[in-house]
Amino acid sequence: MGNSKTIAASVEIASHSGPKIKNGMTVNTKAFLLFLFLLLFGCGIWELAVAYKMLSPLIPAPSLVISQGLELIRDPFYSNGVNDAGIGIHLLASIQRVLTGFLLATVIAVPLGFAIGMSAVLSKAIDPFIQVMRPVSPLAWLPIGLAFFQDSQKTAIFVIFISSVWPILLNAIFGVRNIPSTYLNVARTLEASRWMIVRKVYLPATLPQIVTGLRISLGVAWLVIIAAEMLIGGRGIGYFVWNEWNNLDIANIIVCIVLIGLVGILLDHLLSIVEKKVKYEH
């Protein structure tokens, strides 16, 4: 009797754990089918609303958005001058600016974060600057960048740098300050040099927090570049969106919004892979 109860309890526990399969479909399959249903249902309502003129005349139907989207990606890298280029060229210009500003922020913020986190005096001296500058919108620095560099490309990179530096810096400081004292005590007992402690203790222990800061920073940078390019002009996906608004081409704008989201997902996914590689359990 006792064995029967044990087996029944085990079966009940197993039924509530692991991937559930019902009628030959996993949870992921059901979620994907639900996603497709919601997408098609939403597009159908949208199409009907446009057909019956329930929305603004500027709002295009989903069928028109799809048609123009296919047209845009059919030849994304053509170039007939500054103001006439394919959407692929605009995307690459934006990605290049984002990565340049992001890498500059990384090179400066990580060592500075280590220095601040390891020194109580430097931490107290720098903290007021961080607290004042961190809440300022990166776009507020745009006029300063234009005045200083007098170049739209350098200004865009400068704005990305400003927006990227804070998450990386703060996460590096947090990681250094929260290293278990046991790690440092063992290293000092072994008479490791300061550089050896930084390389063998501080860096591996803080790497998960640093990569998290990089992931947040890259996401913020991708958000900021769109708004910055709307203001500075030239090539870039933000400028492309603004230019399409001036042409009242909402369909192309919607296509751009989808592409911006997809690129953002891709960038975040790449860093999430790195984040999983460096994470560890205590």
Residue 68 located in a structural domain? no
Domain match, 35 and 141 both: no
d(CA 254, CA 166): 31
Of 255, 258, 261, nearest in space to 222 by CA: 261
* Residue 104 shares a structural domain with residue 204: yes
Whether residue 181 lies inside any domain: the answer is yes
pTM flag (> 0.85): no
Q: What is the pLDDT of residues 232-262, one digit of tens each?
A: 877 889 999 998 998 889 999 999 999 999 9
What's the whole-number mean pLDDT along residues 219-237? 88
List the CATH number of the domain containing 256: 1.10.3720.10
Residue 4 has pLDDT above 50, yes or no: no
Q: Is the domain of 127 the same as that of 42? A: no
Q: Cα angle vertex 69, ends 64, 75, to 5°?
A: 135
Q: 160 with 242, same domain?
A: yes
Whether 121 is covered by a domain: the verdict is yes
Residue 12 is predicted with a pLDDT of 47
Residue in this structure with the two tokens 């492309």, named with its chain if needed: 240
Same-domain status, 133 and 206: yes
Q: Which residue is associated with the tokens 């200004």?
A: 155
pLDDT one-digit tens code per residue, 57-92: 889 999 999 999 998 888 888 888 767 788 899 999
Rounded Cα distance between 228 and 88, Å, is: 18
The SS3 assignment for 25 reads strand
d(CA 62, CA 255): 10
Q: Residue 232 in contact with residue 139, Cβ under 8 Å? A: no
State how many domains the chain has: 2
- Domain containing 31: what range? 27-59
Confidence of residue 10 (pLDDT cuts 50, 70, 90): very low
